[in-house]
Structure 1
Amino acid sequence: MRKVEIALKNVLSEDRIEEFLSVGTLIKIKKGEHYIREGEIPKKLGFVLSGLFRYVYINQEGKEYTKGLVQENTFLTSYSAMITETSSYFFVEALEDAELFTISYEKWKRLLDSDNYWYKFLVSFVEKGFITKEKRERDLLLLNAETRYRDFLQNYPEIENRISQTIIASYLGIQPESLSRIRKKMGT
């Protein structure tokens, strides 16, 4: 649990770490495994300690659409499906071997109800997620593929070497061949 405490020092005050640790457990997930599967009603959320995840839609033909990437020190779940107790529309896939601090939704709700501090904590993460989502939507609608790739490199400087070009292309909303052309043009 020491690793969890160290990671949590970046997001929680000292006096709240023990309280948070009391509601969850440490788990490991292998690369390629799913934390949440499409069609599953999620009953948990995780705090990423190490590793990298993606939110991915897969259509009936098997084509993948990467909705988002989730790095260390970030919460991970299909939140809207969890709070509405409906099926998730996407998978949460580990792109690397990972460690998570996972909490059942029931325990999370009890923690939220125990003190207003936890609602403020939740709101701070929801706001960050909203900002990320809004920027991503704007970029997909208004920017060309090369500009989106340049922004990706700037926003996720360490990730490019951690995942496949196919996943990066999926995240950018382009075909892998287009990404190859852009990379060649940029000399990367």
Structure 2
Amino acid sequence: MKELFEFMLRFGNLNQQQMDFISSKAVEMQLPNNAYFSEAGKIARQVGFVVEGIVRVCYYSNKGEEITKYFIEENNLVVDLESFDLEICSSAYVQAVTDCTLIVFSKKDWQELLQTIVGFETIVHKIISRALMQKVERRSPLVTEDATTRYLKFMEIYPTVVNRIPLSYIASYLGVTQSSLSRIRKNIR
């Protein structure tokens, strides 16, 4: 819980009573490697905070290819926001790529926190805004660059991720084949 509060307090203030209330709604969850936090075709019903591990957001193209949109590492919230907020079926999977420890809130409890704690909605809004900006910043430079530059950018953006996840996920994120990625990595060293 300490990590969650350190994270939240970067975006606003919470007193001890509010933090105790948040703690009372939180459930620690172990999500094993390859397990799904939320799935395409289902409505996302929980918000998580990654204490340990890495998750990825991915989908399948109309050709059946698995495409990784982005990774979420420690000390970040994880939720399929559109599905969660609008109660519509998700178009993406949120999957553990390492064994993960998450702090999880059900939709009902999350709504109660938003309605009860003064300023909590502002904190959540700031967190979501930051996450959306990061997503755009991380994807934008990758669109126009060659594969080697994209990989170097990836290592810059996700320095703690690169040696902890399968190359196939990195290749899918970069839009290259695994063999191309292996060549790129060999040429960089």
The answer to whether the superposition gives a TM-score over 0.5 is: yes
Mapped contact 1:35–1:93 kept (Cα < 8 A): yes
Secondary structure of the structure 2 residue equivalent to 1:81: helix
Which residue among 102, 105, 108 is the counterpart of 1:103? 105
Q: 2:25 maps to what in 1?
A: 23
Secondary structure of the structure 1 residue equivalent to 2:8: coil
The number of residues matched between the two structures is 184
Which residue among 2, 6, 10 is the counterpart of 1:5? 2
TM-score, structure 2 as length reference: 0.89
Shift, 1:24, TM fit: 1.9
Provide, for residues 70-93 of structure 1, a one-character-per-residue CA deviation record: whole Å limited to 9, x for no partner.
Answer: 111111111111111101111111
Percent identical residues:
28
Q: 1:132 maps to what in 2?
A: 134
Q: 1:71 maps to what in 2?
A: 73
CA distance in 2, matches of 1:137, 1:96: 22
Secondary structure of the structure 2 residue equivalent to 1:42: coil
Shift, 1:10, TM fit: 3.7
Provide, for residues 16-72 of structure 1, a one-character-per-residue CA deviation record: whole Å limited to 9, x for no partner.
Answer: 422221222111111111011111111111011111100010235542100110111
Mapped contact 1:46–1:75 kept (Cα < 8 A): yes
Mapped contact 1:53–1:95 kept (Cα < 8 A): yes
Matched letter for residue 75 of structure 1: L
RMSD over aligned CA atoms reads 1.7
Matched letter for residue 9 of structure 1: E
Mapped contact 1:29–1:97 kept (Cα < 8 A): yes
CA distance in 2, matches of 1:77, 1:122: 12
CA distance in 1, matches of 2:156, 2:42: 34
Matched letter for residue 145 of structure 2: L
Mapped contact 1:140–1:173 kept (Cα < 8 A): no
> Which is worse superposed, 125-134 or 34-43?
125-134
Shift, 1:105, TM fit: 1.3
CA distance in 2, matches of 1:6, 1:171: 27
Shift, 1:124, TM fit: 1.8
Shift, 1:99, TM fit: 0.9
Provide, for residues 1-25 of structure 1, a one-character-per-residue CA deviation record: whole Å limited to 9, x for no partner.
Answer: xxx2244224334624222212221
1:13-162 aligned within 5 A: 13=14, 15=16, 16-59=18-61, 61-162=63-164
CA distance in 1, matches of 2:117, 2:160: 37
Give the gaps of 5 or more residues in structure 1. Answer: none
CA distance in 2, matches of 1:116, 1:185: 54
Secondary structure of the structure 1 residue equivalent to 2:56: strand
Give the gaps of 5 or more residues in structure 2. Answer: none
Change (3 A) 1:113 1:7: closer
Shift, 1:129, TM fit: 1.2
Matched letter for residue 11 of structure 1: M
TM-score, structure 1 as length reference: 0.90
